């Protein structure tokens, strides 16, 4: 967990160089990514969606911070994100914006591979994905991920957004910490009308490495007796999630995100208690 996960005081990061990374199919615009080496450690940066005409739009970087804090509450292993208020320069134009920073979860000598590729390489003949995950000892991690994606309406859990790390120090393979939650919550709601009209229990079509494009259906992949147990989410947790974000996000935006998280948590809690 990062000690200071939000640097609200404006930083000058105009020296960073940004590479264009296309969003997933079905969404417009690009995410821009950068990195630098600080005290021998690679630090990765990413921006919310960028368009050369409209500039940096969206609030994906806020989503990363909010979800990172939620996973702290639930005690789920994840990549910590730091939200930074900063000036950046893209193609000679300066922007005041918010970006995300995260540390490299790999140590020296480690290698990573997407779960999609690992499954293709290592599965036995006719072995299903869930059977493969069970055999590899990663099924609990995946069940937690399915629930987290349900809680935050993650639209973008394709096969490359789940990674396996080959650890040089131990010679073992293990899932990477959960990462990349920008396309979640009320992603795409750019005005008060769309925020107000967003259904917290919506079953939006999602990109998923699993069989279904429905987050509700993906929950059904988990056997009732194996539904993960998390630290209980409480109404008092809202302050921890948002306490320093009110100057930068509208109250309606924050309230809608909290409705999503808490209503979907209540649904999941009821589902788990029925077992």
Rounded distance, CA 148 to CA 70, Å?
9
Residue 22, pLDDT score: 47
Contacts with 185 (C-beta within 8 Å, 6 or more apart), sequence order: 63, 66, 67, 152, 153, 257, 260, 261
Indicate whether this model's pTM tops 0.85.
yes
Residue 243, pLDDT score: 94
Q: Please calculate the CA angle 204-67-182 and round it to the nearest 5 degrees.
A: 55
Percentage of the chain lying above the pLDDT 90 cut: 83
pLDDT at residue 148 is higher than 50: yes
Highest mean pLDDT among 56-60, 244-248, 270-274: 244-248
Residue 21, pLDDT score: 58
176-216 residue pLDDT tens = 999 999 999 999 898 999 999 999 999 999 988 876 889 99
Residue 28, pLDDT score: 40
26-76 residue pLDDT tens = 334 468 999 999 998 999 999 999 988 889 988 999 999 999 999 999 999
Residue 57, pLDDT score: 87
Percentage of the chain lying above the pLDDT 70 cut: 94
pLDDT at residue 113 is higher than 80: yes
Residue 1, pLDDT score: 55
87-107 residue pLDDT tens = 999 999 999 999 999 999 999
């Amino acid at each position: 967990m990062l000690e200071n996960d939000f640097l609200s005081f404006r930083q000058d990061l105009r020296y960073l160089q940004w590479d264009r990374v296309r969003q997933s199919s079905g969404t417009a615009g690009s995410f821009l990514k950068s990195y630098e080496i600080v005290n021998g450690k690679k630090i990765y940066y990413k921006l919310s969606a960028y368009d050369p005409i409209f500039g940096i739009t969206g609030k994906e970087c806020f989503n990363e911070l909010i979800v990172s804090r939620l996973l702290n509450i639930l005690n789920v292993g994840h990549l910590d994100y730091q939200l930074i208020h900063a000036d950046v320069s893209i193609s000679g134009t300066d922007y005041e914006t918010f970006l995300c920073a995260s540390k490299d979860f790999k140590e020296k000598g480690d290698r990573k591979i997407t779960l999609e590729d690992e499954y293709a390489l290592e599965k036995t003949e006719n072995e299903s994905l869930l059977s493969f995950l069970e055999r590899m000892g990663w099924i609990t991690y995946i069940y937690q991920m399915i629930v987290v994606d349900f809680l935050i309406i993650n639209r973008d859990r394709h096969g490359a957004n789940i990674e396996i790390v080959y650890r040089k120090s131990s010679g073992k393979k293990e899932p990477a910490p959960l990462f990349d939650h920008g396309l979640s919550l009320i992603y795409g709601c750019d005005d008060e009308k769309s925020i107000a009209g967003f259904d917290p229990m919506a079953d939006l079509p999602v990109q998923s490495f699993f069989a279904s494009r429905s987050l509700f259906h993906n929950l059904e992949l988990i056997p009732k007796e194996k539904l993960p147990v998390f630290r209980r989410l409480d109404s008092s947790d809202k302050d921890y999630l948002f306490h320093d974000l009110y100057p930068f996000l509208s109250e309606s935006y924050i309230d809608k995100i909290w409705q999503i998280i808490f209503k979907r948590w209540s649904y999941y809690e009821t589902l788990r208690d029925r077992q």
